[in-house]
C-alpha cells in the first residue's frame, strides 16, 4: 500500500476536537481536586500531579505536536501548534510526547504506591525505607529526562538515509519542511529495552500493590474511623478504575511497538487509528475520576439542571376534568 504524505484531515480535526474536550474536562477535574476534595493532603497532590501530567500528554498528542506517521517507514512529521507556528523540529516534539507518557505512568503508579504506604504505616507493615522513597521521587525527573535525551541521540541524517533506503520517496520528503526519520540503532535498542523493563515493572508494581492494599484494607478497618475507612476505600476503588481506564493508553502503545516491528503494509492507517484511541484516554480518566469519587460526583450532579414534572393539585385536576368534559363510571367513559 503506498504511503500518503498528505496530512490526514480526519485525524487533524479529530485531534483538535478531542484535545479541546480533554482540556475542559481535565481543567474541571483539577478544580475539583483543589477546591472540592474532603481535604488537600499529600495524596491529593499526587492525584493533582497525575491529572496535570495527563492533561500535558493529551495536549502534546492532539494540539501542540499532533504527529503524523508514515508507516511502514519509521518516519513522520508534526502538524500541531508547536511545529506549525513555532517551527520546533518534529524529532524534539516526538521526544516530548514519549517523556510526557512516561511521567503520566509514573504519577499513576505513584498514587497507588502512596495510598498503599499510607495504609501500611497505620498497620506498621510493608513500609518501604526512606532511601527507596527518595529514589522513587527522584525518578520523576531522572527517568523521563533520560528517555528524552536517549531518544534525541537516535536521530538520523535524513538526506543520505532517504537516498540510500527510500529513493522513490525522496521528492515527497523534500516537500516536507519539518519531519523526522529513524533507523534502529543502539540508542533505540537501549530505549526500547528500558521501556519494556519499565513497563513490566510498573505493571507488576501496580498489580501487587493493589492486591496488597485490598488485603490491608480489611485489617485497617478496625483501627480508623468509619468515615476515614470509607474515604480510603473510595480512593482505592477510584485508582483501580483509573488503572483500568489507562489500558486505553498502554495497550495501543504496545500494539504500536508491534506495528513498528512488523513492517505491515497498512501500518499508516492502523497507526493513526491507535493514535486516536490513545487520545481518548484522558477523557475516560477524567470521567472515571469524577464519577468514582463521591464528593466530586455529588458536586457535578448538583450543577446539572434538574428536570421535574410539576405535581397536579386537586383544584387543577378538577378544572382539567371540567375543561375536557368527560365523566367516568365503572368500565365506561362517555361524553357528558
Q: Residue 2 falls within a domain, yes or no?
A: no
Among 6-15, 73-82, 254-263, the least confident range:
254-263
pLDDT tens digit sequence for 138-169: 888 898 998 898 888 877 666 778 888 888 88
Which domain CATH number covers 28?
A: 1.20.1070.10
Decide: residue 198, CB within 10 A, 0-12 exposed, 13-18 middle, 19+ buried: middle
Cα angle 284, 287, 292 (rounded to 5 degrees) comes to: 120
* Cα dihedral across residues 262, 268, 272, 273: positive or negative: negative
Top mean pLDDT of 6-20, 170-184, 251-265 is at 6-20
Give the per-residue pLDDT at 96.
Answer: 94
Q: Residue 91 falls within a domain, yes or no?
A: yes
Q: Residue 177 falls within a domain, yes or no?
A: yes
Q: Residue 40 falls within a domain, yes or no?
A: yes
Total number of domains in the chain: 1
Q: Residue 168 falls within a domain, yes or no?
A: yes
Q: Residue 72 falls within a domain, yes or no?
A: yes
DSSP secondary structure of 120-151? HHHHT-SPPPHHHHHHHHHHHHHHHHHHHHHH
Count CB neighbours of 51 within 10 A: 23
Domain coverage including residue 263: 9-335
Cα angle 184, 260, 3 (rounded to 5 degrees) comes to: 105
Cα angle 132, 138, 143 (rounded to 5 degrees) comes to: 110
Q: Residue 3 falls within a domain, yes or no?
A: no
pLDDT tens digit sequence for 293-331: 888 998 898 888 765 555 555 555 554 445 444 444 444
Average pLDDT over residues 74-93: 90
Cell of 214: 485490598
pLDDT tens digit sequence for 169-213: 888 888 887 888 887 778 878 887 888 888 888 888 888 888 888
Cut 0.75: pTM above it: yes
H-helix or E-strand spanning residue 93: helix 90-123
Cell of 223: 483501627
Q: Residue 81 falls within a domain, yes or no?
A: yes
Say how far apart CA 61 and CA 66 lie, in whole Å: 5
Amino acid at each position: 500500500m503506498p504511503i500518503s504524505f498528505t496530512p490526514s484531515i480526519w485525524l487533524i480535526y479529530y485531534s483538535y476536537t478531542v484535545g479541546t474536550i480533554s482540556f475542559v474536562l481535565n481543567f474541571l477535574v483539577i478544580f475539583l481536586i483543589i477546591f472540592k476534595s474532603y481535604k488537600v493532603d499529600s495524596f491529593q497532590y499526587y492525584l493533582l500531579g497525575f491529572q496535570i501530567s495527563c492533561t500535558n500528554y493529551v495536549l502534546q498528542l492532539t494540539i501542540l505536536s499532533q504527529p503524523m506517521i508514515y508507516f511502514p517507514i519509521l518516519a513522520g512529521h508534526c502538524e500541531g501548534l508547536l511545529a506549525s507556528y513555532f517551527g520546533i523540529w518534529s524529532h524534539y516534539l516526538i521526544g516530548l510526547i514519549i517523556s510526557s507518557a512516561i511521567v503520566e505512568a509514573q504519577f499513576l503508579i505513584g498514587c497507588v504506591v502512596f495510598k498503599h504506604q499510607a495504609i501500611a504505616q497505620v498497620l506498621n507493615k510493608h513500609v518501604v525505607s526512606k532511601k527507596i522513597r527518595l529514589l522513587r521521587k527522584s525518578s520523576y525527573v531522572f527517568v523521563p529526562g533520560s528517555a528524552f535525551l536517549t531518544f534525541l541521540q537516535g536521530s538520523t541524517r535524513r538526506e543520505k538515509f532517504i537516498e540510500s533506503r527510500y529513493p522513490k520517496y525522496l521528492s515527497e520528503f523534500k516537500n516536507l519542511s519539518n519531519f523526522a526519520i529513524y533507523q534502529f540503532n543502539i540508542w533505540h535498542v537501549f530505549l526500547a529495552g528500558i521501556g519494556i523493563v519499565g513497563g513490566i515493572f510498573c505493571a507488576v508494581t501496580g498489580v501487587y500493590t493493589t492486591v496488597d492494599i485490598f488485603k490491608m484494607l480489611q485489617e485497617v478497618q478496625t483501627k480508623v474511623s468509619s468515615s476515614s475507612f470509607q474515604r480510603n476505600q473510595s480512593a482505592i476503588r477510584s485508582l483501580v478504575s483509573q488503572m483500568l481506564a489507562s489500558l486505553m493508553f498502554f495497550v495501543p502503545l504496545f500494539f504500536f511497538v508491534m506495528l513498528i516491528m512488523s513492517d505491515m503494509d497498512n501500518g499508516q492507517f492502523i497507526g493513526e487509528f491507535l493514535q486516536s484511541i490513545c487520545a481518548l484516554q484522558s477523557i475516560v480518566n477524567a470521567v472515571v475520576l469524577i464519577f468514582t469519587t463521591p464528593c466530586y460526583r455529588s458536586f457535578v450532579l448538583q450543577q446539572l439542571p434538574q428536570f421535574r414534572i410539576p405535581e397536579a393539585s386537586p383544584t387543577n385536576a378538577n378544572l382539567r376534568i371540567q375543561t375536557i368534559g368527560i365523566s367516568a363510571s365503572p368500565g365506561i367513559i362517555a361524553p357528558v
